[in-house]
Amino acid sequence: MSTSFDVLVLGAGPGGYVTAIRSAQLGLKTAIVEREHLGGICLNWGCIPTKALLRSAEVYRNMEHAESYGLSAGKPGFDLQKIVERSKGVSKQLVGGIGMLLKKNKVTVLEGEGQLAGGGKLSFKGNDGKAETLTAKHIIVATGARARTLPGLEPDGKLVWTYREALRPDVMPKSLLVVGSGAIGIEFASFYATFGADVTVVEVMDRVLPVEDAEISKLAEKSFRKQGLNIRTGTKVAKLDRHDNSVTVTLEKNGKTETVTVDRVISAVGVVGNIENIGLEKTKVKTDRGCIVADEFSRTDEPGVYAIGDVAGPPMLAHKAEHEGVICVEKIAGVEGVHPLNKAQIPGCTYCHPQVASIGMTEDRAREAGRDVRIGRFPFVGNGKAIALGEPEGLIKTIFDTKTGELLGAHMIGAEVTELIQGFIVAMGLETTEEELMHTVFPHPTLSEMMHESVLDAYGRAIHF
């Protein structure tokens, strides 16, 4: 086996494997090092398996409301282990596909652990126990991130879960407390509540989904409460008392405390970059708040060493990692016209019920930036396709610069908005103005018509509401 490469990628998550494939496509001799699973956390423990679980929840929810569609199917039931096995099967299929893609593109896959050794070298120890030194002109660190833990809230795998245990439960808890109302926490809260768990969500900020537009967060919280979730904002977990098969949680708000006893706790308080045990101390690479410091083309302070994806800082999203990696390796290869990633135009999606999706500035942020804005809104209840689907709950919100017509942000809550958001992503990428959007023909009947109406509403021209 060759030990010398043009490009070495450390970590085979979404950012890593995409970068390696693009590198090989550009004619660079490429290898990728992965200690556990191709696809990383995203495909094995994150993005993909959670969506498989949430799809089961969606189908179950529809079965519960079959009568409203004129259907009868008896009382729905579920088999938790079969739901989990389906989720695992989806991941396994995709991981196998990554292996074939890497092989097709002639990327050398090295199974084991790697550590930067300085001077373009990587110390590699294979899972078979063999050790050797690899060399490369360019080493790209894509080691990803792991669940953040807070003092006193350390997961134990039985009573206090991270996303790993929450993905593969052995029993459906009767009661559950989720700490953190970001995308991970809310998605798990939505899943478990659908299957009958009594779910409490604790958020230290003053609203759920705190990175989203405040108006969207408010609508989301209203919907979650309607579904039976107990939402506790402006609240922190002061203490956990673990028993044989339950946890007593002390909650604190405005100096007052109370206790809640639940079967399980899910800690979803964010993630932190995997910067340990990868040899950074042998290089000039700098870190900040648990992440590697890199410039707009992913270059670190160590010549020939780069960092992409979650380990390089927020937003910690798979699609950001993939695009960042492609930019990095194209810059290395000397591809003309390579532009830095515009992090202000990275979309976010939360696959709870109802779904939430967004891109660009929130209304508050736009006003804080001194922008004179026009706001457009269109509710799902005014859309024929939404009514026909039985999904009348939701809102499309658009934010424009009054002076230039620039689309500053788009924020959505409702059915399939994680698919709809791409329309505004493309519009922002092409620097589309409000006039061009208003003159775009949207097909009827579709949910996408609400996007058009929201733009029209920003300029006082909405038709159907």
HEC string for 104-134: HCCCEEEEEEEEEEECCEEEEEECCCCEEEE
pLDDT tens digits for range 145-156: 999 999 999 999
398: left (phi over 0), alpha (psi -120 to 50) or beta: beta
- 3-state DSSP of 25-53: HCCCCEEEEECCCCCHHHHHHCHHHHHHH
CATH of 160-269, one of 3.50.50.60, 3.40.50.460, 3.40.710.10, 3.40.50.9100: 3.50.50.60
- As given in the structure block, the two tokens for residue 84 are 């989990």
Section 160-164 average pLDDT? 94
Q: Rounded to an integer, what is the distance from CA 109 to the centroid of its chain?
A: 26
| Mean pLDDT, residues 92-100 taken together | 95
Active site residues: 444
- Residues spanned by CATH 3.50.50.60 within the chain? 4-147+272-343, 160-269
Digit-coded pLDDT (tens) for 47-61 = 999 999 999 999 999
For 26, what's the count of Cα atoms within 13 Å in the CB-facing half-sphere?
21
DSSP 362-427: -HHHHHHTT--EEEEEEEGGG-HHHHHHT----EEEEEEETTT-BEEEEEEESTTHHHHHHHHHHH
Task: Note the pLDDT of residue 366.
Answer: 98
Q: What is the pTM of this model?
A: 0.95
The pLDDT tens digits for 61-89 are 999 999 999 999 889 999 999 999 999 99
CATH no., domain 354-458? 3.30.390.30
Instruction: Give the residue from 145, 186, 146 showing the smallest Cα distance to 321.
Output: 145
> Looking at the DSSP assignment, which residues form a beta bridge with residue 250?
239, 259
The highest-level CATH class for domain 4-147+272-343 is alpha beta
pLDDT digits (tens, 9 = 90+) for 9-49: 999 999 999 999 999 999 999 999 999 989 998 888 889 99
Residue 1 has pLDDT above 70, yes or no: no
Q: Is the separation of the CB atoms in 145 and 273 below 8 Å?
A: yes
Count the neighbouring beta carbons within 10 Å of the beta carbon of residue 341. 17
Q: Residue 294 in contact with residue 307, Cβ under 8 Å?
A: yes
Closest to 83 (Cα-Cα) out of 199, 198, 185, 191: 191
| Confidence at residue 46, expressed as pLDDT on a 0 to 100 scale | 87
Mean pLDDT, all residues of the chain = 96
CATH 3.30.390.30 domain locations along the chain: 354-458
Q: Are the C-beta atoms of 208 and 221 separated by less than 8 Å?
A: yes
pLDDT value of residue 166 = 96
pLDDT tens, residue by residue, 341-363: 999 999 999 999 999 999 999 99
Q: How confident is the model at residue 204 (pLDDT cuts 50, 70, 90)?
A: very high
pLDDT of amino acid 41 = 87
pLDDT mean over 162-189: 96
CB atoms within 10 A of CB 458: 25
**pLDDT exceeds 90 at position 220:** yes
